[in-house]
Structure 1
Amino acid sequence: MKQEDIQNIRNEYLAASLSETDAHADPIKQFDKWFNEALKAELHEPTAMTLATATHDGRPSARIVLMKGFDSNGFVFYTNYLSRKGKEIAKNPLGALMFFWGTLERQVRIEGTIEKISKEESIRYFQTRPRASQLGAVVSPQSQEIPDRNILDKKWQEAEAEFLDKDVIKPSFWGGYVLKPRLIEFWQGRQSRLHDRILYKKIDNKHWKKVRLAP
């Protein structure tokens, strides 16, 4: 595709609006409202979120992960502790999330600190996963270089044999994290690129300041 053709790709945003008075005083409750609307709209992968992390010296990386829960404490996801993101979180616990619900013309940006959830919580969630997903967590040396696909197939067969007629045990290198937010921004697309942006900044353990940002 030609550069000028790419530059001419654009859409108008007309679906909804977001005012300071409509936005809940608590950003977690506002997120809950928008998330339930995303579920009702039957969007594909409404729990998909971009997770951005960085090395100790600030080199960023981003990928899609799935949110597996949220509450006033933060937003939960699971992964391999030895993956690239796991290693970056260990050295630099600052991170960011972004949800994009295109059909609703909405996005939510979240910034905060990331920490591991308890081993007990990780085990409880692991036990609810489909068996194939459990085996996948055991088999994959996530983010590490491997010579070819065959090594995964071989490790899969070995894991199937090891756990034949037994429950799959959560590996020690796999578990959950929670991103504890200090900043949450709700973006609603509007006409003429004059989008609505409502930003919440945490001012103490219980209270948030709500402001409007220019688009």
Structure 2
Amino acid sequence: MIELHNIVKTFRPFAPPKSWFHAPPIDRPLPVLQGIDLHVRPGEVVGIHGANGGGKSTLLRLIAGLIEPDAGTLRRPESVSLLDADRLQLEERLTIRENLTYLGALRGLGQSECHQRLKEHARLLNIDYLDRRVNGCSSGMRQGAYWLLALLPQSPVLLLDEPFISLDEAHIETAITHLRHWVDQDERGGVVVSHQRNCLERCSDRVLHLNQGRLS
């Protein structure tokens, strides 16, 4: 379903202009991912644990096709869905439903189909605030909206970046239950990255550790 072999990704640091009081800037690539091997089978959720800034989000964005590796091979389904709250902004003056209907349309979903999927996923995730404006939502409610958006396309692969942040324990348990059901029912696959080890162990079939650009 997902296969990564010997994936390498580096970034070049920002180099400020030289001036009389600056030493020459360091101009060498920063390794983020080094020789990553990963295989996710149908019906499997793989958790990836690691410190902030350790390359977890870069790995997910690479699997999603948002960035390309510098070396190595990657195989994935044509359609994947990524929950990445840091890079998505909801329109504050619109309701959750209005935001997600618009974003669903951008992904090719008709309004009727989108509303039906929203209703079903909201029921299973115990979300009862679809018609609340975003500017009146707590951080936990916003995180619930990101879950709904990730589930809307019903892609064969779900990529979740820090999905449990801002959720209370009851909603974490509900989200984990729904994730496992969602993956199991149609042999889908999932990759969840988080610094919350306990949550990863509860939702994943196996948990890997990303440290200094290497998985173990």
Which TM-score tier does this pair reach, normalised by the shorter chain?
under 0.3
| Higher share in strand | 1
Q: Which has the higher contact order (CA 8 A, sep 6+)?
A: 2
State the structure with more CA Rg.
1
Task: Give the TM-score taking structure 2 as reference length.
Answer: 0.27
Q: Please identify which structure carries the higher helix content.
A: 2
Q: TM-score, normalised by structure 1?
A: 0.27
